[in-house]
Every structure is written in structure tokens, then in C-alpha cells.
Amino acid sequence: MHKQSEEINARKIIHERYSVFPLVLETLKINPQLKSIMSTPFRLNLIVDANIIIRELIWLTQKRKKEEALTRFLEILQTKIVTAVAPVYLADEIEKNIPVISKMKNIPKKRLSMAWSEYKKYITFVEHMDSPELNTRCKRDPKDSPYLALNFEYDYPVYTADKDISGMGGTVINAEFISNYRDYTKDAHSAYTIQIAGMSGIIVTGKIIKSLFLLISKIPKKVLMFALAVIVILLIYKPTREYILSMLEKAKENMPQIIDVLAETMGYAINTYTDNIENAEEKKNLLITHINQLNNSQLDPLNSNAVC
């Protein structure tokens, strides 16, 4: 029984959350004409330092209050539009330090190992190449040479809390940048969800569409135009769909009231969607400003004229 309990807890150390971003990328790949109304997600490539991973593992195994909670960094890794690269050296260093962390922080070593086993699935480990120039640069802290090597080779910034890397000429991003990126993904995720699910909703909600056709002759033209303009947004919300469907069934008895409720619900959906887009755009611009200040970082090109 104790062993079974440990296995259950191990599966819950890192909870996987659904991400709409891969679906957006696939949709844009198949239908490139949609780029006029749906932007390509703001993608990020980075190198992660061991000090970040150690801090993440401690939080996951000891400090978090809710079992399903994730760190900001894990949240953006689970969007699947962030590529985290690390030298093979990092995996060895984490393994070596797990007993030390366990003793220092009074965390069961097995739980730390389980957390690391789940976490490392989000990281791509690669070999690095040494060079005389690199060895010369890394005299300040030779242990950082693998991260600098990857920084120079891949042109990705290093996510680290170590000031030595930037002091030796490496390009770094900090926790503030990660927090801003996570805020962007949350707003963009909501906006993309409305767009994607709204488009699919037109296909799967035939019952609602049938009801609309039955009532279309009774709806004033102004209300009809308004409804058609936002139907894609409206159909994404399941509770809203069910509510409107029930209202439409009563339309013959109480048409004026139905129109008022429909307009109010659509207005709420539009405001939510608009806020998501505006917030995502504002946060994206902050990220762009930050990235533009880094000479060696590499991000996918952005379409500044598109939403999200």
C-alpha cells in the first residue's frame, strides 16, 4: 500500500496542462491564409542553467501549497512553444546534487529524484564543444563553460541566476523575463482558444444553427447582423451555447427577452476576447523590447500586424 501511495504521488509532482499553441501552429501551417487574422505564436528558444533547475525542484517538492501548482517556467515549457536546451553536463550535475539538496533541505531523496525524472522530459540535452577561446573566457568560472559554449553555438540566451555568465560575455535572461513571457502566453492562450474553438464550433454545434435558421425570419436585421458578426466567438463557450440553446427553444414565447439576453452574452464574449488580444499584444511588445536589447538571442520572427 505504501509503495502504491508513493507511485500516485510521483505521478502528481508535475501536472501536464493542455496547450492550444501546437494546434494553432498546425492550423496556420495547413491554412497560411489565416495569418491575416491569427498571428504565429511568439516562440522562445533558451538554454537553462542548473541553478534554475535546482530551485525549481526544491519548490515542486517542498514549497508549493497546491499539489497541481506549477512554476512559471514549467508553465511556459508546457505551452510547447518554448525550447529549453541544456548541456549534458547539467543532467550529471543535478544527479550529483540531489543527495546534497535532500540533506540540506530535508526533502526525501526519492521524491527529488522523481521530480527530476519528470522535469527533464521538458529539456533537450546536447553536447557542447570546447575551444581555446572558450577556456580563456571562462577563467572567471570554468563550470559555466558548457552554458557559454551553447550560447555561442546556438545563439540562444541563457536562463540563469548566475551573474558570472553575463560577466564572461554570455547573453542571459532572468526570472522577470520568464514571468513576462508567462503572462503573455496566458492571454494569448485565451485568445487563441476563442479563435480555434470558435471556428470548430461552427461545425459541431449544428443543433444551435438549426434553431437559428428556424428563428431567422423573426429576428430584426440589426440584431441578425450583430449575431453573425460574433457567432464564432460565441460558440466557443460551452455554458453559453447551452444557455442560448435553451433560450432559443423559448423564443416563440418570449422573443424580445431572448434578443436582450443574446446581445448581453455576446457583448461579454467580445469584451473578454478583445481584452485577451490587447493584453497579449502589450506584453508581447515588452518582450520584443527586451529581446532587442540582447545581441545574441534568437526568437522566431513576429507578425506585428496580426492579433496575439
Domain boundary among 152, 173, 194: 173
With 0-12 / 13-18 / 19 or more C-beta atoms within 10 angstroms meaning exposed / middle / buried, residue 191 is: buried
Same domain as 83, residue 6? yes
Task: Say if residue 17 is in the same domain as residue 150.
Answer: yes
- The dihedral through the CA atoms of 166, 284, 235, 81 has a sign that is negative
pLDDT at residue 82, as a whole number: 96
Q: Which three cell numbers stand for residue 285?
A: 511588445
pLDDT along the chain (308 residues), means of 10: 47 86 89 82 94 96 91 96 95 94 95 96 90 67 84 91 86 93 92 71 43 48 49 51 58 55 57 75 81 55 36
Residues 6 and 154 in one domain: yes
3-state secondary structure of 138: coil
Q: Of the residues 173, 198, 219, which one is the last residue of a structural domain?
A: 173
87 and 193 in a common domain = no
Q: Is residue 307 part of a domain?
A: no
pLDDT of residue 32: 86
Interacting residues of 50 by C-beta distance below 8 A, sequence separation 6+: 86, 90, 93, 94, 97
Do 84 and 169 fall into the same domain? yes
Q: Is residue 273 part of a domain?
A: yes
Q: Is the pTM of this model over 0.85?
A: no
Residue 215 lies in a domain: yes
Contact by Cβ (8 Å): 287, 181? yes
CB 262 within 8 A of CB 227: yes
Query: Which of 198, 199, 203 lies closest to 236, judged by CA?
Result: 198
Same domain, 82 and 207: no
Work out the number of other CB atoms within 10 angstroms of the CB of residue 228. Answer: 11
| Number of domains the chain contains | 2
- What is the reported pLDDT for 13? 92
Q: Report pLDDT for 145.
A: 87
Do residue 77 and residue 169 come from a single domain? Answer: yes
CB within 8 A of 61, min separation 6: which ones?
A: 13, 107, 108, 111, 112, 115
Please tell me whether residues 190 and 169 are part of one structural domain. no
Q: Walk across the sheet containing 158-159 and list its strands.
A: 123-126, 82-87, 44-48, 158-159, 172-173
Three-state DSSP at 85 gives strand
Are residues 146 and 110 part of one domain? yes
Domain that holds residue 159: 2-173
In a domain, 303, yes or no: no
Q: Tell me how far apart the alpha carbons of residues 43 and 100 are, in angstroms, rounded to a whole number.
A: 35
Tell whether 187 and 141 lie within a shared domain: no
**What CATH number is given to the structural domain containing 21?**
3.40.50.1010
Question: Within a domain: residue 301?
Answer: no
Q: What is the pLDDT of residue 200?
A: 53
> Could you tell me if 195 and 82 are in contact, meaning their C-beta atoms sit under 8 angstroms apart?
no
Q: Which of 143, 173, 203 is the last residue before a domain boundary?
A: 173
Is there a domain that residue 302 lies in?
Answer: no
Please indicate, yes or no, if residue 304 is contained in any of the structural domains. no
Determine, yes or no, domain membership for 300.
no
Asked if 263 and 168 sit in the same domain, the reply is no
Residues 6 or more apart whose Cβ sits within 8 Å of residue 209: 202
What is the model's pLDDT at position 38? 81
Q: Tell me, yes or no, whether 148 and 249 share the same domain.
A: no
